């Protein structure tokens, strides 16, 4: 009896092993390039990034036939990928050669001794053509580790259908005061809110404090979450919602939720201030707004204040567990720093590339799915060039992931939705809570 069972068990196990191996051998049908090239393993949390890397790998193999690579790129869910990477770097085994690390998690990997390869030799020679602030956020002790995907310039997306009904000309909106006045007109004429404000994420708050030169932490990593500028900015968001009645809480809580996409797609609100990379959310999730959205610089707080801010991002790194660190670095630099790479970042992903010297390149004014969607499609980069020098750098520190966490789960909700705390109370409480952990 037992032997019969054991035999059957053994058979099943063998069968399972055969199946597993056949799957592995079949591979993740992601690999491009040439058999016999050096294999580079790449992890990302964004499906769309894979296509970009694969196209760059093709170009690389054409350009450097004696250093062929075989790129194996896999997309994992956001959390899973960052957690796996953390464990792999902690234990010293299992990390890929190249990996995309999202900005909110990046400081976690800069704690202690960063397990990444420094990219200074690739970045420094062309620093004068790059938006430096976007490299600083992925740096520690003068070493640049991560290469960005974009500048993430803050812009305003206006729904011209609604603005025209209310007789509002977006070119007359210079300051946030003008914006509030326009919002009142829109509200009176159409009954619709001028904008929506996130209550469970940080994208309505962080860009606005950055416009005013403030941040969550200062350049030395000191927590300044509860400074006066931030309190005043949060008060402004509160006023838009509850005093002037021109804004509502974002349906679903944040503007990457299904509820928000549906709401906005049906012409729910007249505008939204989001970074440049939000463009592909419109094209992908709000198809009915095609031909109705105009992109303009964001309003400013003072007549000479900054109109933009650099928000969000992903730093791509080479880990110290890469088999051939030099090759991985060369390929990554080729993908993210070369002119053709930066042009592809726009064409394929709709990003404002970090190498701004390509912004005037004719290739960035050719038609594509983004230029077809927006009213001022082919002139979008003229808008970004206007505000290129109006972007303060964002400061990162080990406390930033924690700060983002309390902003998401406490501050915005308590002040804007629940109204259980004043902006000052909420920010002071949150800041002290984070300070206690560091």
Partner 1 sequence: MSFQEIVPGQVRFIGGTNYKRLLNPQFFTAVKNSLTYMFWTIVVLIPVPMILAVLLNSIPGKKSYLLRGMLFIPALMSVVVVGTIFRLLFASSDMALVNRFVGLFGGEPQAWLLAGSWKSMFLLVLIATWRWTGINIVYFLSGLQQIPHDLYESAEIDGAGPVQKLFRITIPLLKPTTVFVTAISIFGGLAMFEESYILWSAGSPDNSGLTIVRYIYRRGFEAADMGFGSAVGIALLFLVLLVSFTFLKITGFFKQERV
CB closer to partner 1 out of 201 and 383: 201
Give the SS3 label for residue 195: strand
Binding site for partner 1 (CB under 8 A): 79, 82-83, 86, 89-90, 105, 108-109, 111-115, 199-201, 249, 251-254, 257-259, 262-263, 401-402, 405-410, 413-414, 417-418, 420, 433, 436-437
Q: Cα–Cα distance between 238 and 268 in angstroms, integer?
A: 20
Question: Shortest approach of partner 1 to residue 36 CB, angstroms?
Answer: 34
253 vs 310, beta carbon nearer partner 1: 253
The bridge status of strand 69-75 relative to strand 143-144 is unpaired
Q: How far is the CB of 111 from partner 1 (least distance, A)?
A: 4
Q: Report the relative pairing of strands 98-102 and 38-44 from DSSP bridges.
A: parallel
Tell which residue, 221, 234, 241, has the closest CA to residue 428: 234
Euclidean distance between the first and the last CA atom of the chain, given in angstroms as a whole number: 62
Residue 262 or residue 377: which is nearer to partner 1 going by CB?
262
- In the bound complex, what is the minimum distance in angstroms from residue 269's beta carbon to partner 1? 13
Nearest-approach distance from CB 200 to partner 1, in angstroms: 6
The encoded tokens of residue 428 equal 């002071």
Cβ closest to partner 1, residue 159 vs residue 414? 414
Biggest CA-to-CA distance, the chain: 88
Cα(411)–Cα(404) distance, integer angstroms: 10
Contact between 269 and 141 under an 8 Å Cβ cutoff? The reply is no
Give least dist CB 401 to partner 1, A: 5
In angstroms, give the least distance from the CB of 137 to partner 1. Answer: 17
Nearer to partner 1, 110 or 335 (CB): 110
> Do the Cβ atoms of 42 and 99 come closer than 8 Å?
yes
Cβ-based nearer residue to partner 1, 231 or 406: 406
- Residue 108 CB, shortest distance to partner 1, in Å, is 3
314 neighbors 138 (Cβ within 8 angstroms): no
Number of C-alpha atoms within 13 angstroms, CB side, residue 314? 19
Instruction: Judge whether 208 and 392 are in contact, CB under 8 Å.
Output: no
Which CB, 83 or 302, lies closer to partner 1? 83
């Amino acid at each position: 009896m037992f032997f019969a069972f054991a035999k059957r068990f053994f058979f099943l196990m063998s069968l399972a092993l055969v199946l597993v191996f056949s799957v592995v051998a079949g591979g993740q049908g992601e690999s491009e390039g040439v058999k016999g090239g050096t294999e580079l393993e790449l992890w990302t949390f964004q499906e769309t990034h894979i296509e970009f890397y694969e196209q760059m790998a093709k170009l690389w193999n054409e350009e450097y036939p004696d250093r062929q690579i075989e790129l194996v790129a896999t997309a994992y869910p956001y959390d899973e990928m960052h957690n796996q990477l953390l464990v792999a770097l902690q234990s010293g085994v299992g990390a890929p050669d190249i990996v995309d690390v999202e900005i909110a998690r990046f400081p976690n990997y800069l704690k202690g001794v960063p397990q990444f390869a420094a990219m200074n030799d690739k970045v420094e020679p062309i620093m004068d053509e790059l938006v430096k602030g976007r490299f600083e956020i992925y740096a520690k002790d003068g070493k640049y580790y991560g290469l960005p995907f974009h500048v993430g310039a803050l812009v305003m997306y206006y729904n011209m259908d609604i603005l025209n009904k209310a007789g509002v000309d977006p070119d007359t909106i210079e300051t946030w005061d003008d914006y509030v006045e326009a919002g009142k007109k829109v509200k009176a004429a159409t009954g619709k809110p001028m904008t929506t404000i996130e209550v469970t994420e940080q994208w309505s708050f962080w860009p606005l404090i950055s416009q005013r030169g403030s941040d969550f932490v200062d350049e030395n990593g000191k927590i300044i979450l509860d400074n006066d500028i931030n309190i005043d900015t949060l008060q402004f968001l509160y006023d838009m919602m509850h005093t002037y009645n021109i804004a509502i809480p974002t349906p679903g809580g944040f503007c990457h939720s299904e509820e928000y996409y549906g709401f906005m797609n049906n012409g729910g609100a007249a505008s939204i201030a989001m970074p440049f990379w939000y463009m592909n959310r419109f094209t992908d999730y709000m198809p009915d707004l095609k031909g109705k959205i105009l992109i303009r610089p964001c309003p400013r707080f003072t007549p000479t204040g900054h109109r933009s801010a650099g928000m969000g991002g992903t730093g791509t790194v080479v880990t110290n567990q890469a088999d051939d660190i030099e090759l991985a670095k060369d390929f990554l630099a080729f993908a993210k720093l070369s002119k053709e790479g930066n042009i592809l970042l726009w064409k394929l992903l709709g990003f404002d590339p970090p190498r701004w010297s390509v912004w005037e390149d004719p290739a960035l004014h050719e038609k594509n799915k983004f230029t077809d969607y927006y009213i001022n499609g082919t002139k979008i980069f003229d808008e970004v060039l206007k505000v290129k020098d109006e972007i303060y750098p964002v400061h990162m520190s080990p406390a930033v992931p924690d700060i983002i966490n309390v902003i998401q789960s406490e501050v915005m909700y308590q002040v804007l939705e629940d109204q259980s705390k004043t902006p000052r109370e909420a920010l002071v409480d949150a800041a002290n809570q984070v300070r206690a952990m560091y």
